[in-house]
Amino acid sequence: MTDTTQTIDILLLGSGGREHALAMKLAESPRCGTLYIAPGNGGTAQVGENVAIAEDDPQAVADFARGAGVGLVVVGPEAPLVAGVADAVRAAGIPCFGPGAAGAQMEGSKKFSKELMERAGIPTAAYGSFTDEEAALAYVRAQGAPIVVKADGLAAGKGVIVAETLEEAEEAVRECFSGAFGAAGSTVVVEECLTGPECSLLAFTDGKTVRPMATAQDHKRALEGDMGPNTGGMGVYSPVPIVTDDELAAMKQVMADAVAELAAEGIDYRGCLYGGFMLTPEGPKVLEFNARFGDPETQVILPRLENDLVDVMLACAEQRLDEVELAWRDAWAVAVVLTSAGYPGSYEKGKVITGIEDAEAMDGVTVYHAGTAVREDGELVTSGGRVLAVTALGETFEAARDLAYAACEKIDFEGKTLRHDIGLRALRGREAWA
């Protein structure tokens, strides 16, 4: 039996808003000793110790963890997982939250993920997979538009193109094979375009037991009305009011089926599995799986989680998740992302940020740092495209939404941009997607 009172030192990998949310939740635990974050950001520096380690260098991470006497390593982003960081950490005898390289293929290779779904009978979009440009173009022409073109590997959220016309689809295929996404585009997956609202369902798993989290819905487009280019996420809320009980049950079954199929194929998956779903007229279908917490979904899911996150993650790492039941706050959470002008294109850095303390003085508000840094003179400045996620909890969806936007007004930096319609569509009900 594991001692659930002993404090442990923890190493968290990553530098985004997701990692600030994870760091804050880990630091809340009475079991959390020293919390190291590599490389961290301006927000994580306030809850732990930022350390300079190459997060996607498996040996460097394992060596630091061993040398620092770390008792748990938590891997935030996908790149270190695909690089095999979790394998190196486990080989050093240290518990790790995050799948090994084999399991991380669920995100690292869209072809791998689609083939696994096929074997497991998981509902997903019809697709073709290609390593030859002419064959991919022929498939696109045969299928017609709208259609979705995806670079197979990791492309920092930019390798998915929803093509409304045949010309756009052909251009997307050529872009992938041109090397625009590096090695990620050497294999291209072409999928049917599903319709309906999107919904994310994340789950904790130890490779045997699956504990689904609360539903969330991200807003990926840069501009209001879901216009403009795709981004890493402009805002998010949890739970998702339009999801029916039957749809939720179907999504939970998919998560269990995916983990069971991984286990049946000899893949030991311990960590977070993220299911991105489209709620189609035929029922939920998987758009994609990710091998880690979502960003910005984490910033609305973790504030609602009542469990001790260190306990849950250790249970995943030590394959005793069957001992844990998740509990959730009966509150709504809405997060609005503040971005640098120009994002997701080019943007300037180094803009001084003010007003965070005023925002966090509001009851129910937490400001998660993503693209921030602390200058030598102590000033907090912008250092990325997505700068902050302003999260508010409320007794109703409307109350949480109003509070989040009121808090956004308190914060300022040159070039601050945001969407003002986060959650509005869901407030209108399911017919808003008709």
Q: Which of 48, 78, 101 is the last residue of a domain?
A: 101
**Inside any domain, residue 49:** yes
Residue 232 and residue 141 share a domain? no
d(CA 364, CA 234): 20
Lowest mean pLDDT among 3-7, 281-285, 342-346: 3-7
Note the pTM of the prediction, 2 decimals. 0.93
**Inside any domain, residue 111:** no
C-alpha 151, offset from chain centre: 18
Residue 347 and residue 243 share a domain? yes
**Inside any domain, residue 121:** no
Q: For residue 142, give the CATH number of its domain.
A: 3.30.1490.20
**Inside any domain, residue 109:** no
Residue 174 and residue 37 share a domain? no
**Inside any domain, residue 122:** no
| Helices and strands of the chain, counted as H and E runs | 14, 21
Residue numbers of the domain that contains 89: 9-101
Residue 415 and residue 272 share a domain? yes
Question: What is the total count of domains within the chain?
Answer: 3
Residue 203 and residue 260 share a domain? yes
Residue 317 has pLDDT above 90, yes or no: yes
3-class state of residue 366 by DSSP: strand
Residue 343 and residue 275 share a domain? yes
For the record, the structure tokens of 103 come out as 């399991």
Q: Predicted confidence band at 1 (pLDDT cuts at 50, 70, 90)?
A: very low
Q: For residue 69, give the CATH number of its domain.
A: 3.40.50.20
- Average the pLDDT over 350-362 and give the result: 97
- Whole-angstrom CA distances from 59 to 36, 154, 249, 415 are 17, 21, 40, 40
DSSP 180-209: TTGGGGSSEEEEE---S-EEEEEEEE-SS-
**Inside any domain, residue 192:** no
**Inside any domain, residue 125:** no
Residue 202 and residue 172 share a domain? no
d(CA 315, CA 162): 39
DSSP 47-91: TSEE----TT-HHHHHHHHHHTT-SEEEE-SHHHHHTTHHHHHHH
- Average the pLDDT over 242-264 and give the result: 97
Residue 238 and residue 150 share a domain? no
Q: Which of 101, 116, 143 is the last residue of a domain?
A: 101
Residue 342 and residue 210 share a domain? yes
Query: What's the pLDDT score for residue 88?
Result: 98
Residue 146 and residue 97 share a domain? no
Residue 208 and residue 172 share a domain? no
Condensed to tens digits (0 to 9), the pLDDT of residues 122-135 reads 999 988 889 888 98
**Inside any domain, residue 127:** no
What Rg value do the Cα atoms of the chain yield, rounded?
A: 21
d(CA 26, CA 30): 9
Condensed to tens digits (0 to 9), the pLDDT of residues 149-165 reads 888 777 666 678 888 89
Q: Which of 101, 123, 144 is the last residue of a domain?
A: 101
Residue 381 and residue 245 share a domain? yes
Lowest mean pLDDT among 76-90, 137-151, 414-428: 137-151
d(CA 434, CA 430): 7
* Mean pLDDT, all residues of the chain: 94
